[in-house]
Structure 1
Amino acid sequence: MDADRARTTTTRWRPLVGRWASRIVVLVALIFSAVALGSGITGDESSNSVANLPADAESARASELQESLGTSKFTPVFAVFDRGGEKLSEEDRRFVGEKVRELQDLAAEGQKAFPVFAEDGAAAFVGVPLATDPSGDSYEEPVADIRELAAADLPDGLEAQATGGPAFSVDLSKVFDGADVRLLVTTAGVVALLLLLTYRSPWLWLVPLTVVAVADQVAATAVDVASRIFPFTVDGQSTGITSVLVFGAGTNYALLLIARYREELRREESRYDAMRVAWRQAAPAILASSGTVVLALLCLGFADSPSSRNIGYGGAIGILVAVVYALLVLPAAMTLFGRRLFWPFVPKVGQADPTATGFWSKVAAVVTGRPVLVSVAGVAVLAVLAIPLTGVAAGLSQTEQFRATPQSVTGQEVLAEHFAAGASQPTSLLTPTAAADDVRRAVAEVDGVDRVEPAGSADGTTVLTAVLGAEPASEAALETVESIREAAQGVEPKVLVGGADAESLDSETATARDQMLIIPMILAVVLLVLLVLLRSVVAAVLLVLTVVATFAASLGASWWAFQHWFDFPALDYSVPLLSFLFLVALGVDYNIFLTTRAKEEARRHDTKTAISVALAVTGGVITSAGILLAAVFTVLGVLPLIVLTQVGVIVGFGVLLDTLLVRSVLVPALVSLLGRRFWWPGALSREPVRADQ
């Protein structure tokens, strides 16, 4: 579409750019951003493990009841001592006895530290009861003190680690210590490098990077404000993912707008007119793309899992802020500096468009010249990459959550080797006191239960603790909890089973339910947006199928890599849903950018020529955007938490696959095969094929 035509369409929508308008917009944006960043508003945070469970989950109800009864006032940290499998010496035993007396000073008031020696004589632990803190915020100092004291003056060869529920909470929280700074610095560095390579200008990259970086910080404040108003909270995981989304999506939108702006600078003398035309051409695709992502993220609002809802609401707010800055602030900021911003490759009026004869025009000629062969080859590649899906395993135990190995993990591994593995985090049963003995006997007979003991009574309710033989949060432990519930509730239906393993089981159940509900909702949203945007059932269905195929191929290939390169035992339960959301919602962006340009060209050319021109013109910028987005998601790997590493790898690889194969090869080939039928039942499908103009 030429500039004259662009001016005659959608004239009521235009960016706020001009000699003074651009200055005013940038000034207002700076003032608003400064006020937002200086507001000092903090989000509603919760690190309580039960807060990440549905309110009606059995373990959540058990925790609430136990707290109201006052029977869960204390929780132990275990200082574990061993010699790597060798027997403890008499000196070691005396040392452990001395540690009991020293650690007693760290125990909660009225509680006693207690030693336990393994039957095989190769390990011992000292339990140190701490006052229960539902938020977990007060555990860091006592856990650090226990670790320091336990490791002081160790005999040669004796090792000490602290584990247990509070220790795991502390180690998990440390994963996110400084995470926002590390993510911001790493992400900004990656984006800066890729923008520099894309534009080959010593300063052009600074403008979009600055705008997106400010948008990221404003988005963080907006999420904090929203968490005080709406029913969701913020945590390290949701904050990190929101930041990645803002940087990735915001930079993508900037790349698309700047590419169209540079294109128009070759036609327009006035940089302001060039930006107005570019904005009117790029804004619909950017709005459709961002709207798709926002609606897909809001689908997580229907999730049972509070952590998924946090990511959904936080991410949606982040994308909204990113698109506002991309469409309002960036155009004004770009026009402040004129053409010299593009130095040394300054676009001049009348200059030929390099995309007409560039690399992507050659790719388009090959792809559309042999569409059958290319389509078959593309589908075959996706099918081969998806083959490993047949062996995917899901579910990580508590000790498998970290890429690094903190003390809580090594200590738990020693406990599991020499004691009942579940001793550090027993399962709790709350039962009417009248049925307590019958429930205890029934649970004691369950396979995988080491022992069952009473842990207090109040208000007609008795608390029993069951020590499991399986490692906490492992598949075996979750199966044992299911059996415990079946056995206990067979005796007394009012029994509630809680504890860390029960929470893991309920979280897994909620995640499985969310996948069954949310994935179809996301597909429906994406399909609806494409139908509204392209006015074509065939195009919408085809594009949805390609992004689903990309997800399957990415998940399959990543699972192979996790097994052979990363040595991950399984996927975290939340990974498939999050990966699907980001890949489908973000992956369809590039198809939107490509097909909206093809639709624009199809009004003047036959479909084969239209998709060829669209690929030639958008290929470079979309490929740059895809590589950048993939790199940004891979940045999640700077955090030593396996779930974020897995999401980063799957989405990063999937975006590259979508950018380099699906969008640039497979989709153009399929569009060429279908011809005008691709636009059915829209008006373009009924128009006669015209010669190129």
Structure 2
Amino acid sequence: MREDDGRPDRRRRRWIGAALLVALVWLVGAGPLGMFLGRLGEVQTNDPGAFLPVGAESTEVAGIAEEFDREGSVPAVVVYSREDGGGEVSEEELADIAAVAEDVAGEPWVSGGVAGPFPGTEDPSVAQFVVPVDAAADTGDAVTELRALLDEDPVPGLRAQVTGPAGYAADLAAAFGGIDSTLLAVAVVAVLVILVAVYRSPLLPVLVVLACLLALGLSGALVYLAADTGLVSLNGQSQGILFILVVGACTDYALLLVARYREELAVRERVPEAVLAAVRGVTGPVLASGGTVVLGLLCLLAADLASTRSLGPVVAVGVVAALLSAMTFLPAVLMLCGCAAFWPVAPHGGSGGEGSFGEVVARHRFWGRLATAVARRPRTYWILTTAVLAAAAVFAPQFDAGGTGQAEVFRTEVEAVEAQEVLERGFGSDTGAAPALVVADADRVDEVVRAAERLPRVERAAPVTEPGPPGADPPPLEEDGRVLVEAVLTVGPESAEAVDAVRDLREGLRAVEGADALVGGVSATDLDTLETARRDFAVVVPLVLAVVFVVLVPLLRSLVAPLLLMAVNVLSFAAVLGVGTLVFDHLLGLPGADPVVPLFAFVFLVALGIDYSIFLVSRAREEVLEHGHREGVLRALTVTGGVITSAGVVLAATFAALAVIPLLFLLQLAFLVAFGVLVDALLVRTVLVPALSLDAGPRVWWPGRARTAGESAGYSGSPGSAE
């Protein structure tokens, strides 16, 4: 008898020993990997090529045009302007500027000679000189040093600023510079505050955040290794989304596990048994959720935009790390801490577990009352909810994803943008305007130039020539039998008219037989990016929906329920896009959106938003088998209401943290995903899905049989009355 009595204790000691081993493996193994989070900037690629459409005509031209750059440089334009806004730059001041330019020319990162200074042609209070920054040097570091030199050697009465391609590249890199610290700090603090409010415990939120940080360390090391070896391409926006998604996903899975653990502690005497029962209870929905997100993100590999394609595997690695940490490290530390994790309000026997629906409602008052209300009029609730979402979705087709100008990428004032405005004031609005670049067969260069100049929106066209003395007439520069022709447009390079001009230019040059002309440049890149983004949306969206369906069918053992969940989540996405249209256009007055914003928002909202419906419906199926369809659905809504709502709020808060990065793209993505997650967690999962399930009845599980014997005999006992 004593031997039998001792068996549970021995089993408990074995489980505690295993939990201690798992926790130590994570702490000792993944903990030190956190150092790689700070080194991800070393393997980032934020140059324009990282965002170009793969295989597009403009991308091909960009690669060929590099062969014609003899100096291999990126221009940085130094702009001087009078600080008081009046009076022309004097000859003495121009001489001082020339002395500064001469000093700058001696820097090791300067390739070739400095051009200028030049006085303003439109406004004499402005002057400039151009510094060719060696393409082999780090552009951000070079511009930082250039700005420091200008501060150390000022021209009295004049303000010096740096713009041009090098200036914009440096400011873009600086915008991503706060990802490592600021973004992570904001996300973790938001999670901590919410978890403390949810758990009312000082220890449990720390354990959850520790699981998130370990997942971040593991994912950071894996992504660093993959980027360093060339397996993936990492840029600043991918890194920011990686941080956010790991913290948000790991916290969501942790919330689900802890909620189930609390339930099990209320009906089981031993902590190890409660932890194991909780893990068994949530493994299915958590794996389905994680699998949906990972496979959905990997669908981005089918995209042609380089930045879109690279995001998928980077963030998928993070979700896998979050899932592993939440389902291994967190159960281990919960087993080690026992009920103390919930101190000072620890669960106890009799506080949960099975009981009548009335008892369940008594324990979850708000969610029980909501479930009862939905049960009384399910058809009214789902029709009204659908009507609200559909009304918002009406505005979705008006969402402006036509792209933005280079200066509009930033949400805050940056030096490159300010200096460009000063430069245009001093030298005209076409200053710095990037011409269309035409690569063509050298034997057809004259025909290409004539064909280009015949077009109404081409001001002039000329081939790039060999270097020569002033006044000479050097021949066209030739590389591998090809020439590079610069076609100056009569419209701004980042305007809709410029995009149309590129279309006309491509069409007109196709008529030049044997020229094999390709058109690139800024305007052509805008055109190709827009068309590629639309193509990516048309290809990736069906793939994501197919992946979600394939994951949901075996989980729910039904065909109707997965189709129902997918339909409401697509409607939810359309509604969010419609609200985004109103907010961005009319409330915030934003200039437009990056072409990839709708696709990113769709992938995150469908893959992440459906998680909450997965958590609800998988629990509903479990309850239906025990209590019948109607009561099972209502029990699931009641007992999961708090935890799923908390998970939605946490994920929305973490995605909202992306808004701290001063880039328009990330602000728009942060709003759409955060708002969409709240809609899914608070409206779709809370009202629409339960109401539809109740109105459809047990056939929602077709062709499966998630029914009890009582139901098959006509049992319909449930709280409330059918409509």
TM-score using structure 1 length: 0.91
Query: 2:87 is matched with which residue: 72, 85, 89?
Result: 89
Aligned residue for 2:288, secondary structure, equals helix
Deviation at 1:110, TM superposition (A): 3.8
Deviation at 1:514, TM superposition (A): 0.8
Amino acid at match of 1:371: P
2:248–2:654 contact (8 Å) kept in structure 1: yes
* CA distance in 1 between partners of 2:276 and 2:634 (Å): 26
Q: Which residue of 2 aligns with 1:342?
A: 342
Aligned residue for 2:79, secondary structure, equals strand
Amino acid at match of 2:626: R
Q: Deviations over 1:534-593 (max 9, x none)?
A: 122211111101111111111111221112332211111110000000000000000000
Change (3 A) 1:565 1:96: farther
Deviation at 1:96, TM superposition (A): 4.2
Which deviates more from structure 2 when the two are superposed, residues 143-152 or residues 301-310? 143-152
Are 1:27 and 2:24 counterparts?
yes
* CA distance in 1 between partners of 2:338 and 2:111 (Å): 70
Aligned residue for 1:350, secondary structure, equals coil
Query: 2:389 is matched with which residue: 379, 382, 390?
Result: 382
Aligned residue for 2:432, secondary structure, equals helix
Are 1:407 and 2:415 counterparts?
yes
Are 1:137 and 2:138 counterparts?
yes
Change (3 A) 1:287 1:364: same
* CA distance in 1 between partners of 2:537 and 2:665 (Å): 16
| Structure 2 counterparts to residues 295-374 of structure 1, below 5 A | 295-352=295-352, 355-357=360-362, 358-374=365-381
* CA distance in 2 between partners of 1:80 and 1:536 (Å): 66
Change (3 A) 1:690 1:424: same
Deviation at 1:83, TM superposition (A): 6.2
Aligned residue for 1:684, secondary structure, equals coil
Q: Which residue of 2 aligns with 1:9?
A: none
Query: 1:99 is matched with which residue: 76, 81, 97?
Result: 97
* CA distance in 1 between partners of 2:83 and 2:34 (Å): 51
Deviation at 1:441, TM superposition (A): 3.0
Q: Which residue of 2 aligns with 1:502?
A: 524
Which deviates more from structure 2 when the two are superposed, residues 46-55 or residues 215-224? 46-55
Q: Which residue of 1 aligns with 2:196?
A: 196
* CA distance in 2 between partners of 1:17 and 1:306 (Å): 50
Aligned residue for 1:60, secondary structure, equals helix
Deviation at 1:39, TM superposition (A): 7.3
Change (3 A) 1:139 1:426: farther
* CA distance in 1 between partners of 2:368 and 2:614 (Å): 19
Are 1:392 and 2:394 counterparts?
no
Aligned residue for 2:349, secondary structure, equals coil
Change (3 A) 1:236 1:39: closer
Q: Which residue of 1 aligns with 2:128?
A: 126
Decide which structure has the larger Cα Rg and report it. 2
* CA distance in 1 between partners of 2:91 and 2:440 (Å): 39
Q: Which residue of 1 aligns with 2:356?
A: none
Q: Deviations over 1:184-209 (max 9, x none)?
A: 11111001100100000122211111
Change (3 A) 1:39 1:538: closer
1:420–1:467 contact (8 Å) kept in structure 2: no
Give runs of ≥4 in structure 1 deviating > 6 Å. Answer: 14-17, 83-86
Amino acid at match of 2:478: A
Deviation at 1:309, TM superposition (A): 1.9
Q: Which residue of 2 aligns with 1:286?
A: 286
Q: Deviations over 1:282-324 (max 9, x none)?
A: 1111000000000000101111112112210011111111111
Q: Which residue of 2 aligns with 1:49?
A: 48
Aligned residue for 1:178, secondary structure, equals helix
* CA distance in 1 between partners of 2:120 and 2:502 (Å): 25
Deviation at 1:461, TM superposition (A): 2.6
Q: Deviations over 1:91-126 (max 9, x none)?
A: 456534642452244344542413455553466452
Deviation at 1:164, TM superposition (A): 1.2
Deviation at 1:239, TM superposition (A): 1.0
Which deviates more from structure 2 when the two are superposed, residues 262-271 or residues 390-399? 390-399
| Structure 2 counterparts to residues 641-680 of structure 1, below 5 A | 641-680=663-702
Change (3 A) 1:609 1:520: same
Aligned residue for 1:103, secondary structure, equals helix
Give the root-mean-square deviation of aligned CA atoms: 2.8
1:303–1:514 contact (8 Å) kept in structure 2: yes
Q: Which residue of 1 aligns with 2:509?
A: 488
* CA distance in 2 between partners of 1:447 and 1:368 (Å): 67
Aligned residue for 1:536, secondary structure, equals coil
2:212–2:247 contact (8 Å) kept in structure 1: yes
Gaps of 5+ in 2: 1-10, 354-358, 466-476, 719-723
Q: Which residue of 2 aligns with 1:442?
A: 451
Deviation at 1:154, TM superposition (A): 5.3
1:604–1:690 contact (8 Å) kept in structure 2: no
Deviation at 1:139, TM superposition (A): 4.6
Aligned residue for 1:337, secondary structure, equals helix
Q: Deviations over 1:359-406 (max 9, x none)?
A: 101100001211121112101211222233243222111111010121
TM-score using structure 2 length: 0.87
Change (3 A) 1:143 1:265: closer
Amino acid at match of 1:95: E
Q: Which residue of 2 aligns with 1:168?
A: 168
1:74–1:129 contact (8 Å) kept in structure 2: no
* CA distance in 1 between partners of 2:230 and 2:290 (Å): 22
* CA distance in 1 between partners of 2:446 and 2:522 (Å): 23
Q: Which residue of 2 aligns with 1:423?
A: 432
Gaps of 5+ in 1: 1-13
Which deviates more from structure 2 when the two are superposed, residues 510-519 or residues 630-639? 510-519
Amino acid at match of 1:484: L
Are 1:690 and 2:705 counterparts?
no
Q: Deviations over 1:309-349 (max 9, x none)?
A: 22100111111111111111110011111112211211111
Which deviates more from structure 2 when the two are superposed, residues 555-564 or residues 292-301? 555-564
1:103–1:146 contact (8 Å) kept in structure 2: no
Aligned residue for 2:174, secondary structure, equals helix
Which deviates more from structure 2 when the two are superposed, residues 423-432 or residues 374-383? 423-432
* CA distance in 1 between partners of 2:517 and 2:103 (Å): 36
* CA distance in 1 between partners of 2:91 and 2:661 (Å): 39
Q: Percent identity?
A: 36
2:433–2:492 contact (8 Å) kept in structure 1: no
Which deviates more from structure 2 when the two are superposed, residues 262-271 or residues 90-99? 90-99
